[in-house]
């Protein structure tokens, strides 16, 4: 794979925010209020759309291919559609991804885009190039409701879930920015839903977007190459398995409920034993036979040798592999990253017990693109950020 294109670049301010501010947005909304953004439709929904406008369902395949495989956003370029249909589409539909407002490349080639949504919120998407693959880390919500104590996104508060268009457009925009040629090798070979938000709390839109990722007429990724990461929304893990099984990653981070309640407050609702039961169920007929457990390494909190042994015991009944993630700090955090020795010691215990264990490399931290550093610009509706600030200021 040739990654030179994005290695060569540095910070690129793509658009002047004030210039593209309210007035242009207002003008846009007025002129297109009734139009359907076709990015919101997976192939099945697109078929329903074409039936709805009195055309044939097979148009959906053609248009999905134009939009997602060829990256076309102009109906005139869709040459296998009649002139009349193109004119009709121009009247009733649009292809409108969010606008890139910032495009940054880290020293290690990791690239991060800040995308502005129609309502002014911004989300982040990260591309991580490696020798054998290119992984896109996609966001599913503006902020997050889960408030995990070590996660920067959680500290931003929450505004809303993303639409299908806003989720899939991250892949579309990345492919475009990376200069993907539809006839050449894929540049984005893997997608991980590990960006901002909890994907299972935006289930319907996430599933439609995943269907497009898997669709041979869109991105054609295999189920093994699309990974959804969850903090453990147990009942919806079962729905995912039934409706759209893809690779599963679970953010575990602790080996007992007392600590996990503190790190991942969702644990109070779905404690560890229920979560592991759900993981076992997920593995039956799953596209990957193992669940990846993510474990953020926090100095003096969850990184002792005893805790490593506890983790081995806990995972002994689930087909698993473990990703150790060195904690990535952000302003106002109370945690510190475990030392390299502590991480290695912890890993060695797991490996000696036969658990496949990888210490995740920290990528893109010079542009705040590493795990847990994605913040975007969230118009917080929970006031969480203010409460946290007040707490850090008061003694």
> Alpha carbon of 77 to those of 58, 66, 73, 81, 172: distances in Å?
18, 9, 8, 9, 17
CB of 224 to ligand SAH, least distance (A): 18
Whether 121 and 101 have beta carbons less than 8 Å apart is answered as: no
Torsion angle in degrees (nearest 10) through CA of 176, 180, 182, 187: -120
CB of 123 to ligand SAH, least distance (A): 12
Output 166 or 198, the one with its CB closest to ligand SAH.
Answer: 198
Enumerate the β-bridge partners of residue 297.
326
Closest to 81 in 3D by CA, of 92, 68, 96, 65? 65
Output 89 or 138, the one with its CB closest to ligand SAH.
Answer: 138
Single out the catalytic residue among 124, 166, 198, 294.
124
- Interface with ligand SAH includes 325 (CB under 6 A)? yes
Phi-psi region of 190 (alpha: psi -120 to 50; beta: other; left: phi over 0): beta
- Interface with ligand SAH includes 229 (CB under 6 A)? yes
The question of whether 371 is a catalytic residue gets the answer yes
Residue 118 CB partners (closer than 8 Å, separation 6+): 25, 29, 98
Query: Out of 55, 124, 166, 294, which residue is the one contacting ligand SAH (CB under 6 A)?
Result: 294
- Interface with ligand SAH includes 346 (CB under 6 A)? no
Output 69 or 147, the one with its CB closest to ligand SAH.
Answer: 147
> Alpha carbon of 379 to those of 22, 182, 287: distances in Å?
16, 36, 37
- Interface with ligand SAH includes 157 (CB under 6 A)? no
The DSSP symbol for 207 reads H
CA 326 to chain centre: 19
- Interface with ligand SAH includes 247 (CB under 6 A)? no
Query: Out of 89, 106, 151, 349, which residue is the one contacting ligand SAH (CB under 6 A)?
Result: 151
Query: Out of 372, 375, 377, 384, which residue is the one contacting ligand SAH (CB under 6 A)?
Result: 372
- Interface with ligand SAH includes 371 (CB under 6 A)? yes
The question of whether 124 is a catalytic residue gets the answer yes
Please identify every residue annotated as catalytic: 124, 371
Residues in touch with ligand SAH (CB under 6 A): 150-152, 194, 198, 229-231, 251, 294, 296, 325, 327-328, 371-372
């Amino acid at each position: 794979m040739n990654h030179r294109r994005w290695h060569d670049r540095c910070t690129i301010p793509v658009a002047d925010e004030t210039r593209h501010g309210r007035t242009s947005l207002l003008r846009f909304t007025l002129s297109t209020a009734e139009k359907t953004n076709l990015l919101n439709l997976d192939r099945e929904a697109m078929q329903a759309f074409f039936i709805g406008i009195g055309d044939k369902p097979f148009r959906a395949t053609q248009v999905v291919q134009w939009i997602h495989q060829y990256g076309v956003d102009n109906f005139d370029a869709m040459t296998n559609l009649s002139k009349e249909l193109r004119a009709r589409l121009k009247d009733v539909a649009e292809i409108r991804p969010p606008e890139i407002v910032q495009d940054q490349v880290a020293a290690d080639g990791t690239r991060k885009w800040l995308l502005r949504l129609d309502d002014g919120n911004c989300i982040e998407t990260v591309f991580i190039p490696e020798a054998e693959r290119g992984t896109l880390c996609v966001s599913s919500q503006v902020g997050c409701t889960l408030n995990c104590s070590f996660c920067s996104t959680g500290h931003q508060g929450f505004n809303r879930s993303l639409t299908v268009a806003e989720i899939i457009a991250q892949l579309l925009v990345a492919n475009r920015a990376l200069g993907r040629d539809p006839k050449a090798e894929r540049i984005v070979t893997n997608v991980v839903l590990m960006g901002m938000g909890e994907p299972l709390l935006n289930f319907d839109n996430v599933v439609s977007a995943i269907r497009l990722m898997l669709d041979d007429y869109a991105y054609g990724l295999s189920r093994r190459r699309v990974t959804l990461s969850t903090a453990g929304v147990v009942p919806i893990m079962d729905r995912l398995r039934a409706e759209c099984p893809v690779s599963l990653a679970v953010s575990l981070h602790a080996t007992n409920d007392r600590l996990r309640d503190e790190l991942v407050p969702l644990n109070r609702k779905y404690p560890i034993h229920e979560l592991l039961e759900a993981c076992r169920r997920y593995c039956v007929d799953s596209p990957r036979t193992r669940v990846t457990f993510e474990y953020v390494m926090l100095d003096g909190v969850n990184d002792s040798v005893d805790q490593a042994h506890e983790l081995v015991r806990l995972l002994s009944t689930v087909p698993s592999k473990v990703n150790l993630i060195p904690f990535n700090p952000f302003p106002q955090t109370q945690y510190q990253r475990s030392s390299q020795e502590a991480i290695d010691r912890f890993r060695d215990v797991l490996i000696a017990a036969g658990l496949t264990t990888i210490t995740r490399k920290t990528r893109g931290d010079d542009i705040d693109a590493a795990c847990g550093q994605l913040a975007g610009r969230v118009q917080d509706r929970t006031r969480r950020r203010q409460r946290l600030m007040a707490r850090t200021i008061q003694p």
